[in-house]
Structure 1
Amino acid sequence: MQLRRHILTLRLVCATGMALLVVGCTSQPTTSTSSQTGAAPPTAFSPTDVAWIQLMIPMAERAQALTDLAPSRAASPALQALAAKTGTQLHQDQKRLHQLLSLSGVPDSRPHEGHNMPGMVSLPTIQRGGTVTGKAFDKLLAEALHAHLTQSAMLCAGEQTQGHAGKAKELAATIAKNTTEQTSRLNEVSPAKPSSPGGATAG
Protein backbone atom coordinates (compact mmCIF):
# COMPACT_ATOMS: atom_id res chain seq x y z
CA MET A 1 0.00 0.00 0.00
CA GLN A 2 1.47 3.28 -1.03
CA LEU A 3 1.94 6.02 1.52
CA ARG A 4 -0.55 8.80 1.04
CA ARG A 5 0.99 12.09 0.02
CA HIS A 6 0.94 14.23 3.11
CA ILE A 7 0.02 17.88 3.20
CA LEU A 8 2.15 20.02 5.46
CA THR A 9 1.03 23.41 6.63
CA LEU A 10 3.26 25.48 8.84
CA ARG A 11 1.96 28.61 10.50
CA LEU A 12 3.75 30.76 13.06
CA VAL A 13 1.35 32.44 15.45
CA CYS A 14 2.54 35.18 17.77
CA ALA A 15 0.74 35.00 21.09
CA THR A 16 1.95 36.60 24.30
CA GLY A 17 5.36 37.01 22.71
CA MET A 18 5.68 33.26 22.04
CA ALA A 19 6.06 31.86 18.49
CA LEU A 20 3.95 28.73 18.19
CA LEU A 21 4.36 26.12 15.48
CA VAL A 22 1.02 24.87 14.18
CA VAL A 23 1.28 21.83 11.95
CA GLY A 24 -1.37 19.99 9.98
CA CYS A 25 -0.65 16.78 8.07
CA THR A 26 -1.88 13.27 7.47
CA SER A 27 -0.94 10.44 9.82
CA GLN A 28 2.77 9.73 10.06
CA PRO A 29 4.47 6.58 11.37
CA THR A 30 5.75 7.05 14.92
CA THR A 31 7.60 4.99 17.49
CA SER A 32 4.41 4.66 19.52
CA THR A 33 2.77 1.22 19.76
CA SER A 34 0.18 2.07 22.41
CA SER A 35 -2.33 4.15 20.47
CA GLN A 36 -5.15 1.96 21.78
CA THR A 37 -4.51 3.19 25.30
CA GLY A 38 -5.10 6.79 24.25
CA ALA A 39 -1.76 7.93 25.69
CA ALA A 40 1.40 7.72 23.61
CA PRO A 41 4.69 7.17 25.44
CA PRO A 42 7.07 10.13 25.88
CA THR A 43 9.34 8.84 23.10
CA ALA A 44 6.62 8.86 20.43
CA PHE A 45 7.08 11.24 17.53
CA SER A 46 4.01 13.31 16.69
CA PRO A 47 3.28 14.85 13.26
CA THR A 48 4.54 18.16 14.71
CA ASP A 49 7.90 16.59 15.64
CA VAL A 50 8.28 15.04 12.18
CA ALA A 51 7.31 18.24 10.37
CA TRP A 52 9.83 20.21 12.45
CA ILE A 53 12.63 17.75 11.66
CA GLN A 54 11.79 17.66 7.96
CA LEU A 55 11.93 21.45 7.74
CA MET A 56 15.01 21.98 9.91
CA ILE A 57 17.14 19.63 7.78
CA PRO A 58 16.94 21.66 4.54
CA MET A 59 17.14 24.89 6.57
CA ALA A 60 20.49 23.74 7.95
CA GLU A 61 21.70 22.38 4.60
CA ARG A 62 21.05 25.62 2.76
CA ALA A 63 22.65 27.77 5.46
CA GLN A 64 25.75 25.57 5.53
CA ALA A 65 26.06 25.77 1.76
CA LEU A 66 26.42 29.52 2.16
CA THR A 67 28.76 29.47 5.17
CA ASP A 68 31.03 27.06 3.27
CA LEU A 69 31.70 29.85 0.76
CA ALA A 70 32.95 32.29 3.41
CA PRO A 71 36.64 31.23 3.63
CA SER A 72 37.32 32.21 0.01
CA ARG A 73 34.85 35.08 -0.38
CA ALA A 74 34.33 36.98 2.88
CA ALA A 75 36.36 40.11 3.55
CA SER A 76 35.79 40.29 7.30
CA PRO A 77 37.95 37.91 9.38
CA ALA A 78 35.37 38.09 12.17
CA LEU A 79 32.59 37.09 9.78
CA GLN A 80 34.76 34.29 8.40
CA ALA A 81 35.28 32.96 11.91
CA LEU A 82 31.55 33.16 12.67
CA ALA A 83 30.71 31.39 9.41
CA ALA A 84 33.17 28.60 10.21
CA LYS A 85 31.73 28.07 13.69
CA THR A 86 28.15 28.28 12.44
CA GLY A 87 28.89 25.86 9.60
CA THR A 88 30.33 23.31 12.01
CA GLN A 89 27.26 23.63 14.23
CA LEU A 90 24.92 23.27 11.26
CA HIS A 91 26.71 20.08 10.21
CA GLN A 92 26.27 18.63 13.71
CA ASP A 93 22.61 19.67 13.76
CA GLN A 94 21.98 17.88 10.47
CA LYS A 95 23.46 14.64 11.81
CA ARG A 96 21.28 14.75 14.91
CA LEU A 97 18.17 15.69 12.91
CA HIS A 98 18.71 12.77 10.53
CA GLN A 99 19.15 10.46 13.52
CA LEU A 100 15.85 11.68 14.96
CA LEU A 101 14.07 11.19 11.63
CA SER A 102 15.38 7.64 11.47
CA LEU A 103 14.27 7.04 15.06
CA SER A 104 10.79 8.33 14.23
CA GLY A 105 10.34 5.64 11.60
CA VAL A 106 9.35 8.17 8.92
CA PRO A 107 11.05 7.76 5.51
CA ASP A 108 13.39 10.55 4.46
CA SER A 109 11.07 11.76 1.69
CA ARG A 110 12.49 15.32 1.74
CA PRO A 111 9.11 17.07 1.27
CA HIS A 112 10.79 20.50 1.09
CA GLU A 113 13.28 19.63 -1.65
CA GLY A 114 13.71 22.72 -3.84
CA HIS A 115 11.37 24.84 -1.74
CA ASN A 116 12.17 28.33 -0.48
CA MET A 117 10.51 28.67 2.92
CA PRO A 118 10.54 31.78 5.16
CA GLY A 119 14.03 32.25 6.57
CA MET A 120 15.52 29.48 4.45
CA VAL A 121 18.57 30.53 2.44
CA SER A 122 17.30 30.45 -1.14
CA LEU A 123 19.06 28.72 -4.02
CA PRO A 124 19.50 32.05 -5.88
CA THR A 125 21.18 33.47 -2.75
CA ILE A 126 23.63 30.56 -2.67
CA GLN A 127 24.29 30.98 -6.38
CA ARG A 128 24.92 34.70 -5.97
CA GLY A 129 27.20 33.94 -3.03
CA GLY A 130 29.38 32.00 -5.41
CA THR A 131 29.80 35.00 -7.70
CA VAL A 132 30.56 37.87 -5.28
CA THR A 133 33.42 38.54 -2.90
CA GLY A 134 34.50 41.05 -0.29
CA LYS A 135 31.98 43.43 1.26
CA ALA A 136 29.24 42.34 -1.15
CA PHE A 137 29.55 38.76 0.06
CA ASP A 138 29.76 39.88 3.69
CA LYS A 139 26.47 41.74 3.37
CA LEU A 140 24.77 38.84 1.60
CA LEU A 141 26.02 36.35 4.19
CA ALA A 142 25.06 38.50 7.16
CA GLU A 143 21.53 39.11 5.90
CA ALA A 144 20.91 35.48 4.95
CA LEU A 145 22.29 34.18 8.25
CA HIS A 146 20.22 36.65 10.23
CA ALA A 147 17.05 35.47 8.48
CA HIS A 148 18.02 31.82 8.99
CA LEU A 149 18.79 32.24 12.68
CA THR A 150 15.62 34.24 13.32
CA GLN A 151 13.39 31.63 11.65
CA SER A 152 15.23 28.73 13.28
CA ALA A 153 14.66 30.25 16.71
CA MET A 154 10.93 30.61 16.00
CA LEU A 155 10.62 27.04 14.70
CA CYS A 156 12.51 25.66 17.70
CA ALA A 157 10.28 27.62 20.07
CA GLY A 158 7.27 26.10 18.35
CA GLU A 159 8.68 22.57 18.64
CA GLN A 160 9.42 23.04 22.32
CA THR A 161 5.84 24.12 23.06
CA GLN A 162 3.91 22.00 20.54
CA GLY A 163 6.14 18.95 20.04
CA HIS A 164 5.81 15.61 21.82
CA ALA A 165 8.98 13.54 21.51
CA GLY A 166 11.43 14.31 24.29
CA LYS A 167 14.50 13.85 22.09
CA ALA A 168 13.13 16.25 19.47
CA LYS A 169 12.28 18.88 22.08
CA GLU A 170 15.74 18.52 23.63
CA LEU A 171 17.41 19.09 20.26
CA ALA A 172 15.13 22.06 19.61
CA ALA A 173 16.24 23.56 22.93
CA THR A 174 19.91 23.00 22.06
CA ILE A 175 19.56 24.54 18.60
CA ALA A 176 17.63 27.49 20.08
CA LYS A 177 20.41 28.12 22.60
CA ASN A 178 23.10 27.99 19.90
CA THR A 179 20.99 30.22 17.67
CA THR A 180 20.76 32.87 20.37
CA GLU A 181 24.54 32.86 20.79
CA GLN A 182 25.17 32.98 17.04
CA THR A 183 22.69 35.82 16.57
CA SER A 184 24.36 37.86 19.29
CA ARG A 185 27.76 37.33 17.68
CA LEU A 186 26.40 38.09 14.21
CA ASN A 187 24.99 41.39 15.44
CA GLU A 188 28.50 42.29 16.66
CA VAL A 189 30.32 41.49 13.41
CA SER A 190 27.61 42.20 10.84
CA PRO A 191 28.63 44.85 8.26
CA ALA A 192 25.09 46.23 8.19
CA LYS A 193 21.68 45.56 9.65
CA PRO A 194 19.52 43.21 7.55
CA SER A 195 17.45 45.17 5.04
CA SER A 196 14.39 42.96 5.43
CA PRO A 197 13.06 40.18 7.68
CA GLY A 198 13.52 37.60 4.92
CA GLY A 199 17.11 38.55 4.19
CA ALA A 200 17.51 36.08 1.34
CA THR A 201 16.51 36.40 -2.28
CA ALA A 202 13.25 34.71 -3.09
CA GLY A 203 13.43 31.99 -5.69
Structure 2
Amino acid sequence: MRLIASVAVVLLLAGCGGQQAEKTPAPTPASTFGGTDLAWIEIMLAMNEQVVPLLDAVPARAGGAATRDLAATVRVFTEAELPELRALHDLAGLPAENQHVGMPMPGMVTEADLAAMTALSGPAFDEAASGKLTEAIEQAVTLARSEQEHGIDPRTRALAGEVLAARATVAAGADAGKREN
Protein backbone atom coordinates (compact mmCIF):
# COMPACT_ATOMS: atom_id res chain seq x y z
CA MET A 1 0.00 0.00 0.00
CA ARG A 2 2.83 2.38 0.89
CA LEU A 3 4.50 1.64 -2.48
CA ILE A 4 1.30 2.49 -4.39
CA ALA A 5 0.93 5.77 -2.51
CA SER A 6 4.56 6.65 -3.21
CA VAL A 7 4.16 5.88 -6.93
CA ALA A 8 0.98 7.99 -7.06
CA VAL A 9 2.77 10.93 -5.44
CA VAL A 10 5.68 10.62 -7.86
CA LEU A 11 3.32 10.45 -10.85
CA LEU A 12 1.38 13.49 -9.64
CA LEU A 13 4.56 15.45 -9.08
CA ALA A 14 5.80 14.46 -12.51
CA GLY A 15 2.57 15.64 -14.10
CA CYS A 16 1.52 12.18 -15.23
CA GLY A 17 -1.71 11.96 -13.27
CA GLY A 18 -4.96 12.69 -15.09
CA GLN A 19 -5.35 16.04 -16.83
CA GLN A 20 -2.02 17.66 -17.63
CA ALA A 21 -1.59 21.35 -17.18
CA GLU A 22 1.00 23.27 -19.12
CA LYS A 23 4.32 22.22 -17.65
CA THR A 24 6.51 24.85 -16.09
CA PRO A 25 9.87 23.73 -14.86
CA ALA A 26 10.14 23.77 -11.11
CA PRO A 27 12.69 26.22 -9.82
CA THR A 28 15.92 24.53 -8.89
CA PRO A 29 18.88 26.01 -7.12
CA ALA A 30 21.63 27.02 -9.54
CA SER A 31 24.15 25.22 -7.37
CA THR A 32 24.72 23.84 -3.93
CA PHE A 33 26.44 26.05 -1.40
CA GLY A 34 28.50 24.67 1.45
CA GLY A 35 29.36 26.36 4.71
CA THR A 36 32.67 27.68 3.39
CA ASP A 37 30.92 29.15 0.35
CA LEU A 38 28.31 30.91 2.48
CA ALA A 39 30.83 32.33 4.94
CA TRP A 40 33.16 33.44 2.14
CA ILE A 41 30.36 35.25 0.31
CA GLU A 42 29.26 37.11 3.43
CA ILE A 43 32.77 38.03 4.60
CA MET A 44 33.95 39.15 1.15
CA LEU A 45 30.74 41.14 0.64
CA ALA A 46 31.23 42.90 3.98
CA MET A 47 34.93 43.53 3.34
CA ASN A 48 34.30 44.95 -0.13
CA GLU A 49 31.34 47.10 0.92
CA GLN A 50 33.21 48.47 3.92
CA VAL A 51 36.36 49.38 1.99
CA VAL A 52 34.40 51.70 -0.35
CA PRO A 53 34.13 54.62 2.14
CA LEU A 54 37.90 54.45 2.64
CA LEU A 55 38.42 54.49 -1.12
CA ASP A 56 36.07 57.48 -1.32
CA ALA A 57 38.22 59.35 1.23
CA VAL A 58 41.51 58.88 -0.63
CA PRO A 59 41.25 61.75 -3.16
CA ALA A 60 40.72 64.38 -0.45
CA ARG A 61 43.11 62.95 2.15
CA ALA A 62 46.02 61.24 0.36
CA GLY A 63 49.31 63.03 0.03
CA GLY A 64 51.03 60.68 -2.37
CA ALA A 65 50.40 59.18 -5.78
CA ALA A 66 51.17 55.66 -4.53
CA THR A 67 48.19 55.73 -2.16
CA ARG A 68 45.93 57.12 -4.89
CA ASP A 69 47.13 54.44 -7.33
CA LEU A 70 46.62 51.63 -4.81
CA ALA A 71 43.13 52.90 -3.98
CA ALA A 72 42.25 53.19 -7.67
CA THR A 73 43.33 49.59 -8.25
CA VAL A 74 41.42 48.33 -5.22
CA ARG A 75 38.35 50.25 -6.41
CA VAL A 76 38.48 48.55 -9.82
CA PHE A 77 38.36 45.00 -8.47
CA THR A 78 36.02 45.91 -5.60
CA GLU A 79 33.46 47.39 -7.99
CA ALA A 80 33.84 44.38 -10.31
CA GLU A 81 33.33 41.88 -7.48
CA LEU A 82 30.44 43.51 -5.62
CA PRO A 83 27.72 42.69 -8.18
CA GLU A 84 28.89 39.05 -8.33
CA LEU A 85 29.04 38.78 -4.56
CA ARG A 86 25.53 40.26 -4.26
CA ALA A 87 24.22 37.85 -6.90
CA LEU A 88 25.79 34.88 -5.10
CA HIS A 89 24.39 36.19 -1.80
CA ASP A 90 20.89 36.22 -3.28
CA LEU A 91 21.31 32.89 -5.07
CA ALA A 92 22.48 31.27 -1.83
CA GLY A 93 19.45 32.65 0.00
CA LEU A 94 21.56 34.37 2.64
CA PRO A 95 19.79 36.74 5.06
CA ALA A 96 19.61 40.42 4.15
CA GLU A 97 21.46 41.37 7.34
CA ASN A 98 25.08 40.32 6.95
CA GLN A 99 26.42 39.13 10.31
CA HIS A 100 29.98 39.97 9.24
CA VAL A 101 29.43 43.71 8.73
CA GLY A 102 31.67 45.60 11.12
CA MET A 103 33.39 42.44 12.32
CA PRO A 104 36.79 43.38 13.72
CA MET A 105 39.07 41.17 11.64
CA PRO A 106 42.12 41.70 9.45
CA GLY A 107 41.25 43.62 6.30
CA MET A 108 37.84 44.80 7.49
CA VAL A 109 37.48 48.59 7.52
CA THR A 110 35.37 49.17 10.61
CA GLU A 111 33.64 52.44 11.42
CA ALA A 112 36.31 53.12 14.04
CA ASP A 113 39.08 52.46 11.48
CA LEU A 114 37.46 54.80 9.00
CA ALA A 115 36.96 57.54 11.58
CA ALA A 116 40.59 57.32 12.69
CA MET A 117 41.94 57.33 9.13
CA THR A 118 39.73 60.15 7.88
CA ALA A 119 40.93 62.32 10.78
CA LEU A 120 44.35 62.19 9.09
CA SER A 121 45.66 63.67 5.86
CA GLY A 122 48.84 63.67 3.83
CA PRO A 123 51.61 61.21 4.70
CA ALA A 124 49.90 60.05 7.93
CA PHE A 125 46.74 59.19 5.99
CA ASP A 126 48.81 57.55 3.26
CA GLU A 127 50.50 55.27 5.79
CA ALA A 128 47.25 54.32 7.55
CA ALA A 129 45.17 53.88 4.38
CA SER A 130 47.86 51.99 2.47
CA GLY A 131 48.37 49.73 5.47
CA LYS A 132 44.65 48.97 5.73
CA LEU A 133 44.29 48.41 1.97
CA THR A 134 47.29 46.07 1.97
CA GLU A 135 45.81 44.22 4.93
CA ALA A 136 42.49 43.90 3.05
CA ILE A 137 44.29 42.55 -0.01
CA GLU A 138 46.20 39.99 2.06
CA GLN A 139 43.07 38.89 3.94
CA ALA A 140 41.14 38.51 0.68
CA VAL A 141 43.92 36.27 -0.65
CA THR A 142 43.82 34.10 2.48
CA LEU A 143 40.03 33.81 2.34
CA ALA A 144 39.96 33.14 -1.41
CA ARG A 145 42.53 30.36 -1.05
CA SER A 146 40.35 28.79 1.63
CA GLU A 147 37.31 29.04 -0.64
CA GLN A 148 39.29 27.46 -3.48
CA GLU A 149 40.36 24.58 -1.22
CA HIS A 150 37.14 23.96 0.71
CA GLY A 151 34.26 25.56 -1.19
CA ILE A 152 31.90 23.43 -3.26
CA ASP A 153 29.86 25.93 -5.28
CA PRO A 154 31.44 26.36 -8.74
CA ARG A 155 30.43 30.03 -9.18
CA THR A 156 31.72 30.95 -5.74
CA ARG A 157 34.97 29.10 -6.32
CA ALA A 158 35.34 30.82 -9.72
CA LEU A 159 34.89 34.24 -8.12
CA ALA A 160 37.47 33.30 -5.48
CA GLY A 161 39.85 32.54 -8.37
CA GLU A 162 39.17 36.00 -9.80
CA VAL A 163 39.83 37.53 -6.39
CA LEU A 164 43.18 35.73 -6.23
CA ALA A 165 44.12 36.85 -9.74
CA ALA A 166 43.19 40.50 -9.08
CA ARG A 167 45.12 40.65 -5.82
CA ALA A 168 48.14 38.85 -7.30
CA THR A 169 48.42 41.67 -9.82
CA VAL A 170 48.42 44.25 -7.01
CA ALA A 171 50.92 42.25 -4.95
CA ALA A 172 53.24 41.90 -7.97
CA GLY A 173 53.08 45.66 -8.55
CA ALA A 174 53.81 46.36 -4.87
CA ASP A 175 56.79 43.99 -4.95
CA ALA A 176 58.13 45.71 -8.09
CA GLY A 177 57.73 49.10 -6.41
CA LYS A 178 59.68 47.91 -3.36
CA ARG A 179 62.52 46.67 -5.57
CA GLU A 180 62.71 50.04 -7.36
CA ASN A 181 63.13 51.93 -4.08
Number of residues paired by the alignment? 151
1: CA distance, partners of 2:35 / 2:176? 37
Three-state SS of the structure 2 residue aligned to 1:116 is: coil
Q: Compute the displacement of 1:91 (Å).
A: 2.0
Q: Compute the displacement of 1:122 (Å).
A: 2.7
2: CA distance, partners of 1:148 / 1:86? 9
1:156 aligns to 2:144 (yes or no): yes
Runs of 5+ in structure 2 lacking a partner? Answer: 1-27
Three-state SS of the structure 1 residue aligned to 2:109 is: coil
Percentage of matched positions with identical amino acids: 28
The answer for the alignment partner of 1:113 in structure 2 is: 101
The answer for the alignment partner of 2:110 in structure 1 is: 122
1:69-105, Cα deviation, whole Å (9 max, x unpaired): 1111111123212212211321221111010111112
Q: Classify 1:146/1:161 alpha carbon distance in 2 versus 1 (closer, same or farther; 3 Å).
A: same
TM-score by length of 1: 0.68
Q: Compute the displacement of 1:187 (Å).
A: 4.6
1:86 aligns to 2:74 (yes or no): yes
2: CA distance, partners of 1:181 / 1:122? 25
Structure 2 residue identity aligned to 1:138? D
TM-score by length of 2: 0.76
1:73 aligns to 2:72 (yes or no): no
1:131-177, Cα deviation, whole Å (9 max, x unpaired): 11110010001110111111110000000010001000000000111
Q: Classify 1:85/1:143 alpha carbon distance in 2 versus 1 (closer, same or farther; 3 Å).
A: same
The answer for the alignment partner of 2:29 in structure 1 is: 31
2: CA distance, partners of 1:189 / 1:76? 14
Structure 1 residue identity aligned to 2:72? A
Q: After TM superposition, which residue ranges in structure 1, 4 or more long, deviate above 2 angstroms?
A: 105-109, 183-190
Instruction: Please provide the CA RMSD for this pair.
Output: 1.9
Three-state SS of the structure 1 residue aligned to 2:119 is: coil
Three-state SS of the structure 1 residue aligned to 2:152 is: coil
2: CA distance, partners of 1:188 / 1:140? 21
Q: Which structure's residues are more often helix, by fraction?
A: 2
| Larger Cα-atom Rg | 2
- Aligned pairs for 1:1-203 (under 5 A) are 31=29, 43-187=31-175
Runs of 5+ in structure 1 lacking a partner? Answer: 1-29, 33-42, 191-203
